[in-house]
Amino acid sequence: MNLLQKMEDDRLFSRGEREVVHFLLGHPTENLTIKELVEQSGTSNATVIRMCRKLGYDGYRQFKLEFIREVESRKYLKETVDYSRPFQAQESIQEMICKMGTLYKESTDLLLGILDGKVITEISRMILKAQRVYIYAVSDSMITARGFANKLLKLNIYPTLVYEYQEEYTFSYNMTDRDCAVFLSYSLSYERFKKAFQMLKSKRVPVLTITANESHAITKLSTYRLVIPRMESGFKIAPFYSQFAFGFLCDVIYAGIYALDYQYNQERKRELDEAVR
């Protein structure tokens, strides 16, 4: 469940908190300070802070950043689809095809709404200059990680998929600030991520986290973070949305690295293609 969906559930909030929520949902494009929000909603600082904490944020500033990001993302939506269960048993195969098409169209529009070219350039430079690149991913995310690693090989970058060796602590302990790490996980719920991340932070290793969990400590403390809207919840037919979203972001990063020296990479790719003929 994403932030806007949570805010629409009145059962989560007290009467005062509902006043704040309803005001925000009714004025989504106004970038208000907490003082302005309190005055215009007729509530108090304490009420606003309680609302933020119920939604999983430490304070108003953190909440506001996510709220603005989701509102901006929603501007691109033309239709709605259930991202966890995009089609139902009674629907025809043609209806299913249309629903899947809608899911991917909407997902693309959502992601376009969160991407910042400057941040992608900074991430691309971090990966390009790193002595070694390590990717932390498990389960479904590992599939995307393998695809990303395969693309990076084309640019003479040789990433290590940490969990293929089951030695995440060894890798994390041996890394330095000349390396970089990428965490790829929808929820960041895998318990062993935490200790590995603590090791990386103690060694000042630059970290990029790609996730849907805005409030996780790993996300907050990462050097860079790409947070996708949390659209999947509960039982899902398959991770259609999350795998597509992660793949899209990894492709954008690959394109960013390629673009840093476009002419060189283009010539090198031509040479490679000729060499294997």
Is the pLDDT reported for residue 201 higher than 70? yes
Residues 6+ apart with CB under 8 A from 266: none
Which tens digits make up the pLDDT trace of 163-182?
A: 988 888 999 999 999 999 99
Mean pLDDT for the chain overall: 89
- Which pLDDT does position 47 carry in this prediction? 94
- Which pLDDT does position 162 carry in this prediction? 94
Task: Note whether 86 and 38 are within 8 A (CB).
Answer: no
- Over range 30-53, report the average pLDDT: 91
Q: Which residue has the higher pLDDT, 108 or 81?
A: 108
H or E element at residue 66: helix 60-74
| 146, β-bridge pairs | none
Using 50, 70 and 90 to split pLDDT, how confident is the model at 19?
very high
pTM tops 0.85: no
Q: Which residue has the higher pLDDT, 62 or 209?
A: 209
Sheet holding 224-227, edge to edge: 160-161, 133-136, 180-184, 207-211, 224-227
- Over range 65-93, report the average pLDDT: 78
Q: How far is Cα 137 from Cα 188, in angstroms, rounded to an integer?
A: 9
Q: How far is Cα 177 from Cα 11, in angstroms, rounded to an integer?
A: 46
- Which pLDDT does position 78 carry in this prediction? 55
Q: How far is Cα 181 from Cα 105, in angstroms, rounded to an integer?
A: 30
- Over range 1-27, report the average pLDDT: 86
- Which pLDDT does position 22 carry in this prediction? 92
Q: Which residue has the higher pLDDT, 30 or 259?
A: 259
Task: Note whether 207 and 181 are within 8 A (CB).
Answer: yes
- Which pLDDT does position 21 carry in this prediction? 92
| 134, β-bridge pairs | 160, 181
Burial of 61 per CB tally in 10 Å (0-12, 13-18, 19+): exposed
- Which pLDDT does position 73 carry in this prediction? 66
- Over range 65-90, report the average pLDDT: 77
Q: How far is Cα 175 from Cα 199, in angstroms, rounded to an integer?
A: 9
Task: Note whether 221 and 172 are within 8 A (CB).
Answer: no
Is the pLDDT reported for residue 105 higher than 70? yes
Lowest mean pLDDT among 124-133, 152-161, 229-238: 229-238
Q: How far is Cα 57 from Cα 136, in angstroms, rounded to an integer?
A: 25
- Which pLDDT does position 3 carry in this prediction? 81
